[in-house]
A and B are shown apart, each in its own frame.
Chain A
Amino acid sequence: MKRSGAAFWIGAAAFLAVAFVMTKVIGNQYPFFAGYVILQFIALAVAWSILGGYAGYVNFGTSAFYGVGVYASVFLVKAFGAPLPVQILTAAAIGALMGFALGLLTLRMQGIFFSIATIALTIIIETVVTNWRYVGGAAGIQIQRPPVTAPFDNYVQLLFFIQAVLVVLAVAISRYIQNSWIGRGLQALKDDELAAECSGVPTLRLKLLACVISGALLCAVGAPGAMYLQYADPSSAFNLNYSVSTLAMSLIGGTAHWIGPVIGAIVLSTTQQLLTVTISSEVNVLVLGVMLVLFVVGAPEGIIGLARRIFHRSNEGRE
């Protein structure tokens, strides 16, 4: 237990160190543009699976949280010229509130109905933002990046590094939850809510906690998106693709362990990044659809499940 904890933190520190060194050594901007997107999806998938994976409440509203994160930044920059850390923290706070509201929904809805309700929330919020003139309405809005601060030479590198920090944060939280009583309680309520209650699990409080944490992280990950694109418009920020991609990444990787969404996000978004470069963005969506269908049908437990099965079989062979 203790040793794997140390290994995890050493790994996390090494990951951040590599990310930082990359910004110093690599002159070309493209790896950071692509890398930012991959990191962003890792963080989204990990954050999503805290609710969708551990607790089994499938949230199709990732786009809502992401979009609100983007627009929280847009508003803060336009109104106060707020710096990036303030944007991210504010987005996290708003995301936590939204998560709380989502948690209250779980009181009355389960399964498919919960999922449909989260899609509904997304479109409603998107419509409100579309009609909000101050942040640009349907046409979108241009955003000026502030000058970059040391030790970075370039704003995209800064964003890349910040997204790497968010990844570490999301993974650390997810890992903590999985290994603690919270994770066991969530797993219990995922299996059977009434049996969990009758075993002393405070299901509502745990669901609210999972929703708040997941929501805060999802929004925080969206916040730097405005600065990344230097532009925001409702139909991109709230695009359903974020919801389906995030879900697909978690399912592809497997939701039983925190590493699952990380693997799924790396596999899917790297593939997508490579294909966008070489082919076109439509193929992106096609890859998403095909991978989603293939994994849901062929490997319901995701890559983790596949790996475990193979590992099991080779173990049995040895005996």
Chain B
Amino acid sequence: MDLLLDAVVTGVLLGCFYGAVSLGLSVSFGLLDVPHVAHPAFLVLASYGVFIINEQYGIDPLIAGLLITPLFFVFGLIAYRLYYETFEKRGSDAGVRGIAFFFGVAFIIEVLIIIQFGVDQRAVTADYIGKSWRIADTRIPYRMLVAFAVAAALTIVLTLYLSRTFMGRAIRAVAQDQEALRLMGANPIRVKQWAFGIATAVLGIAGALLIIVAPVDPTLDRAYIGRTFCVVVMAGLGSMSGTLVAAIILGVAETIVTTMVGASWAPAISFAMLLGVLAVRPQGLFGRRS
């Protein structure tokens, strides 16, 4: 029983971390309908960015993550512009060609990282990495607590941004009715581009978490395609708090399976849940599209 409790605690923390790395996708795929399968590749790229700053200047990985967010914001603006010009503007089967396009981008990023850094794992150093907090029999690594706190903070900030600011409300409006937004005098494409920029900027911090939680290697993104899409689809496409809840469900499920059955089954969990959700509700649990 203790083992189960242990798994649940670890799972919740892990889930919060999954939430943090999925938030960006929740905006780009959930709200904007961009089939961004390169999201995890950008995530890993951010981790390597954090790694460089941490190694060169000894700056704390979280601060390093914050430092690269403006750069990723610009990446996002460019990426969306490119996607819009080549796919959305032309109309038909944007989704399918888009997914092929982003797979191509993901592969390019993977190889560029390999060429620069090799295939070995890379890690960062910080005071809270490698130590843990003991309560009774449970040991909770500090790095997981950091991930938990940052994830919670990110979710709150994004939720507030989307509900309280003018631009945030415009982003949510564009997801629901592009025409209505146009009538209000806003340019939906600008709004979407901005939103995609935010979604990518968030990856700067998420990438820091990724490399804080465990060492990264160039092809780690493949393991996160399933996890991030599972979380976003389960969350109901575009809900930030839903994303965190879905991520916690996934985290707990993965941890329980790892403890009870074996770690080798863990990769299938997210995909099995994803498939289950898709089979029951093809548009996600609380799909907003009719």
Q: A58-B100, A285-B110, A289-B111 are in contact. List 15 more A-B contacts (CB 8 A).
A: A108-B279, A108-B282, A109-B282, A112-B96, A116-B274, A117-B274, A127-B267, A285-B107, A286-B108, A289-B104, A290-B104, A291-B104, A292-B103, A292-B107, A296-B104
In the complex, A126 Cα to B265 Cα: how many Å? 10
Residues of B within 8 A of A296 (CB): 86, 97, 100-101, 104
Can you identify 7 A-B contacts, CB atoms within 8 angstroms?
Answer: A111-B96, A112-B99, A286-B111, A286-B115, A293-B105, A293-B108, A296-B104
Residues of A within 8 A of B265 (CB): 127, 131
Residues of A within 8 A of B262 (CB): 131
CB distance from B172 to the nearest CB of A (A): 21
State the interface size on chain A (CB cutoff 8 A). Answer: 42
In the complex, A289 Cα to B100 Cα: how many Å? 9
B233 adjacent to chain A (CB < 8 Å): yes
A300 adjacent to chain B (CB < 8 Å): yes
A282-B115, A289-B104 known; A123 vs B268 contact (CB < 8 Å): yes
- Are A58 and B96 in touch, CB under 8 angstroms? yes
- Are B35 and A251 in touch, CB under 8 angstroms? no
- Are A116 and B93 in touch, CB under 8 angstroms? no
- Are A112 and B35 in touch, CB under 8 angstroms? yes
- Are B108 and A290 in touch, CB under 8 angstroms? yes
Q: Chain B residues in contact with chain A, CB under 8 A?
A: 35, 82, 86, 90, 93, 95-101, 103-108, 110-112, 114-115, 222, 225-226, 229, 233, 262, 264-265, 267-268, 271-272, 274-275, 278-279, 282-283
- Are A131 and B97 in touch, CB under 8 angstroms? no
A244 adjacent to chain B (CB < 8 Å): yes
A14 adjacent to chain B (CB < 8 Å): no
A206 adjacent to chain B (CB < 8 Å): no
A142 adjacent to chain B (CB < 8 Å): no
In the complex, A293 Cα to B37 Cα: how many Å? 13
With CB as the reference atom, state the residue of chain A lying closest to B225: A119
- Are A251 and B100 in touch, CB under 8 angstroms? yes
Question: Within A261-319, which residues are at the interface with B (CB < 8 Å)?
Answer: 282-283, 285-286, 288-293, 296-297, 300
A128 adjacent to chain B (CB < 8 Å): yes
CB distance from B271 to the nearest CB of A (A): 4
- Are A120 and B100 in touch, CB under 8 angstroms? no
A240 adjacent to chain B (CB < 8 Å): yes
CB distance from A273 to the nearest CB of B (A): 17
A120-B272, A131-B264 known; A297 vs B111 contact (CB < 8 Å): no
In the complex, A296 Cα to B282 Cα: how many Å? 26
In the complex, A291 Cα to B98 Cα: how many Å? 14
- Are B104 and A293 in touch, CB under 8 angstroms? yes
- Are B107 and A244 in touch, CB under 8 angstroms? yes
- Are B100 and A116 in touch, CB under 8 angstroms? no
- Are A113 and B278 in touch, CB under 8 angstroms? yes
With CB as the reference atom, state the residue of chain A lying closest to B101: A296
A127-B267, A131-B265, A285-B111 known; A112 vs B275 contact (CB < 8 Å): no
CB distance from A278 to the nearest CB of B (A): 16
Report which of A105, A112, A119 forms a contact with B95, defined as CB distance below 8 A.
A112
CB distance from B90 to the nearest CB of A (A): 8
- Are A123 and B108 in touch, CB under 8 angstroms? no
Residues of B within 8 A of A112 (CB): 35, 95-96, 98-99
Question: Within A178-219, which residues are at the interface with B (CB < 8 Å)?
Answer: none
With CB as the reference atom, state the residue of chain A lying closest to B267: A127
- Are A248 and B96 in touch, CB under 8 angstroms? no
In the complex, A111 Cα to B105 Cα: how many Å? 20
A131-B265, A288-B107 known; A56 vs B93 contact (CB < 8 Å): yes
With CB as the reference atom, state the residue of chain B lying closest to A137: B264
Residues of A within 8 A of B115 (CB): 282, 286
A282-B114, A297-B86 known; A115 vs B268 contact (CB < 8 Å): no
Residues of A within 8 A of B278 (CB): 108-109, 113, 116-117, 120
In the complex, A126 Cα to B107 Cα: how many Å? 20
| Highest count of chain A CB atoms <10 Å: which of B82, B95, B112, B265 | B95
